[in-house]
Structure 1
């Protein structure tokens, strides 16, 4: 029997640390910091507001380590934020067809990211990225349902080794002006791997395959790469940090 006062063999002690700043955001932090520094010699009365702005920019691009549940039949959240929609809907045109997700309606789980959330997005399953489709569009509030069809967006389809395909969509919001992809079609990814980010408030939709039930509720907060959005019955999970 394992001792109750000792950790299992092979484990280490976990410690909190400041999250890294993603490389995509470092230039913006440097620009904001430089402006704050120069203001000391020109308009010193705005230096402190600019310092706070620099801290805010750094916080927006923070990229914390996440412990991703591993196991067959799990779909993890690709984004931090609030679960705002869980409903069965028609697929977007870009995700229809035999080479994508088919034609049947699917349950869509929407995660809304405010400007205070981590904006690095992660893949919900391990596998091969089959499609990355970028669509230009409007910049209305990403919390609106019609934003799925009218806003700037980027669709992904990931296929696992068993042939299961999961589609998800990055949707730009009212303030967001750019979707950045870190991966391309043909890349192999592990569950919870960073695949892109959306700047300054947005939404990510995940389309659940048949046989998967949502594990989240409306109003719940999700954590990218950690929260299990859906699972197939009879599955278990262990965690891997990334």
Structure 2
């Protein structure tokens, strides 16, 4: 189970703390042994959380893949103010629990035409207003068809750091890594209204391998 680069520092800290607790347990008393056990369990969880996963992108150039693993929590028409000037778009949101792989991927191929990070609140990620009020990163991909696809990484009540690798002007490929969100969050995808939706609320999806929608 390969470790993601974003987790190396955190895992190193837990390894160090566990070793120190074991040494203190050997030299001192049983309380440090209990501490070492707790730290070792946390180390296992953290290493599991920061795991990586290889994915294979679909060959359909018009397919919009899920940018992350998780559960679909929103499929609705909304007005999007940041990029589309309150015009209606089709929003599909995927919520990631702490048990999901937290890598994020580009849902389609194209060129990064916009990338911004916004500070904000840390509301629970499945609330609709978290998309506009929480800390978030917005990335727009100009699809090879000319359509603009907005991907928004949204921090949750537990997530405290969003990592985005996008840079404006860069050509990207669907399935290429977009970023990472630490400890629970969601990712929103905004599509043209005529896109063919392929998922329903409650569906479990796999990043890259599950198509959320298809452009017409």
TM-score scaled to structure 2, two decimals?
Answer: 0.93
Structure 1 segments of 4+ aligned residues over 3 angstroms from their partners = none
Residues 11-160 of structure 1: matches in 2 within 5 Å?
18=1, 20-42=2-24, 43-91=32-80, 93-97=81-85, 103-160=86-143
Q: Would the aligned equivalents of 1:94 and 1:133 in 2 still touch at CA under 8 Å?
A: no
Q: Is 1:192 aligned with 2:175? A: yes
Partner of 1:240 in structure 2? none
Unmatched 5+ stretches in structure 1: 1-17, 98-102, 234-242
Residue 37 of structure 1 aligns to a residue in which SS? helix
Q: Would the aligned equivalents of 1:87 and 1:109 in 2 still touch at CA under 8 Å?
A: yes
Query: Aligned-pair distance for 1:96?
Result: 2.0
Residues 202-213 of structure 1: matches in 2 within 5 Å?
202-213=185-196
Q: Is 1:168 aligned with 2:151? A: yes
Query: Aligned-pair distance for 1:231?
Result: 1.2
| Aligned counterparts of 1:156 and 1:124: Cα–Cα separation in 2 | 11
Q: Which has the larger displacement, 72-81 or 43-52?
A: 43-52
Residue 101 of structure 2 aligns to a residue in which SS? coil
Residue 121 of structure 2 aligns to a residue in which SS? coil
Unmatched 5+ stretches in structure 2: 25-31
Q: Which has the larger displacement, 42-51 or 138-147?
A: 42-51
Residue 213 of structure 2 aligns to a residue in which SS? strand
| Aligned counterparts of 2:78 and 2:143: Cα–Cα separation in 1 | 23
Distance change in 2, residues 1:162/1:107 (3 Å): closer
Over aligned residues, Cα RMSD in angstroms?
1.2
| Aligned counterparts of 1:67 and 1:150: Cα–Cα separation in 2 | 33
| Aligned counterparts of 1:141 and 1:122: Cα–Cα separation in 2 | 22
CA deviation profile, 1:85-133 (whole Å, cap 9, x unmatched): 1110101x22125xxxxx5311111100111111110011101100001
